[in-house]
Homo-oligomer: A and B are copies of this chain.
Amino acid sequence: MTDKPRTGLRERQKEDRRARIIAAARQLFLKAGPENITIEAIAEIAGVSSVTVHNYYGTKSGVLLALVAESDRELLYTMRHDLLGKSRDPGDLLMHFLSIVCTHALKHLDKVIWRQVIAASVNGQDPRFGKLYHDLDRRLVGVLVEEIRRLQASGLWPAESDATQLGWALFNIQNARFIEFISSDHIDQATALRHLRNDIRALMLEKPPLPTGDVPTGGVLPDRCHP
């Protein structure tokens, strides 16, 4: 009894089908209107049966998630590249972060589709979804944390803060505004960023609270703007 062949014909066929299904899905989700986006249509283009699509990806949202997962690499690369050392404080950092996320999101899919993605990520019928999404979150937070550490190393932010904790907190704040951005057709990127800036000002994340012996200048007046 030999080992299971990791690269047998069967494995390659599966990988092929996976790829074909994703390619077909991308073609439909991007080009075609929402009318033609049926499991059936995807299956036909991919040259498999609709049941196979289900077996591979669970649900229609599952196919979508896989599509999103593919663009993760790109987002992560962009994030690492564009976020590097450009910020003076966590507030600044977060503004850049949200800006990149929004731009990236709309570059690949439109809001209507993103709503389904987010809904699927919380609804989690298939546990794979939640996990996939959470993994991306973790890596994104990792980038934030690195930058926070950089700020701390430069003396721009108090070293007592736990960078990891702050990274998650900041990420959540930003994510709330991203979801708001996605949830409504009326909210454009500039508005989302304005809302985030208000959050930052209200939480006093803009001017670094100096580690000791000094007092942050109060009275940063937030814009009059909120839902």
Q: A118-B122, A123-B115 are in contact. Are A199 and B179 (CB under 8 A)?
A: no
Q: Kindly specify which of A22-30, A96-104, A165-173 makes contact with the partner chain.
A: A165-173
Q: Which of A166-221 contact B (CB under 8 A)?
A: 166, 168-169, 172-173, 175-177, 179, 182-184, 195, 198-199, 201-205, 209, 211-216, 218-221
Q: Which of A116, A161, A201, A209 has the most CB of B within 10 A?
A: A161
Q: A172-B172, A203-B205, A227-B138 are in contact. Are A179 and B215 (CB under 8 A)?
A: no
Contacts of A43 in B (CB 8 A): none
Kindly identify which residue among B176, B182, B215, B226 contacts A176, using a CB–CB cutoff of 8 Å.
B176
Does the CB pair A119–B123 fall under 8 Å?
yes
Kindly identify which residue among B122, B165, B201, B220 contacts A201, using a CB–CB cutoff of 8 Å.
B165
User: What is the oligomeric copy number?
Assistant: 2
- Minimal Cβ-Cβ distance residue in B for A176: B172
User: Would you call the interface of chain A mostly helix, strand, loop, or mixed?
Assistant: helix
The yes or no answer to A162 lying at the interface (CB within 8 A) is: yes
Kindly identify which residue among B183, B215, B218 contacts A122, using a CB–CB cutoff of 8 Å.
B183
The yes or no answer to A35 lying at the interface (CB within 8 A) is: no
A64 to B211, alpha carbons, bound, how many Å? 49
Contacts of A175 in B (CB 8 A): 176
Does the CB pair A160–B218 fall under 8 Å?
yes
Q: Which of A203, A212, A227 has the most CB of B within 10 A?
A: A203
Contacts of A47 in B (CB 8 A): none
The yes or no answer to A222 lying at the interface (CB within 8 A) is: yes
Does the CB pair A199–B124 fall under 8 Å?
no
The yes or no answer to A130 lying at the interface (CB within 8 A) is: yes
Does the CB pair A124–B115 fall under 8 Å?
yes
Q: Which 8 A-B pairs have the closest CB atoms?
A: A172-B176, A119-B119, A165-B202, A119-B123, A169-B199, A166-B202, A160-B218, A169-B202
What are 23 sample pairs from A and B whose C-beta atoms fall under 8 A apart? Answer: A119-B119, A119-B122, A119-B123, A122-B122, A122-B183, A160-B219, A161-B202, A162-B201, A162-B221, A162-B222, A165-B202, A165-B222, A168-B199, A169-B173, A169-B198, A169-B203, A172-B172, A172-B173, A175-B176, A203-B203, A203-B205, A209-B209, A215-B215
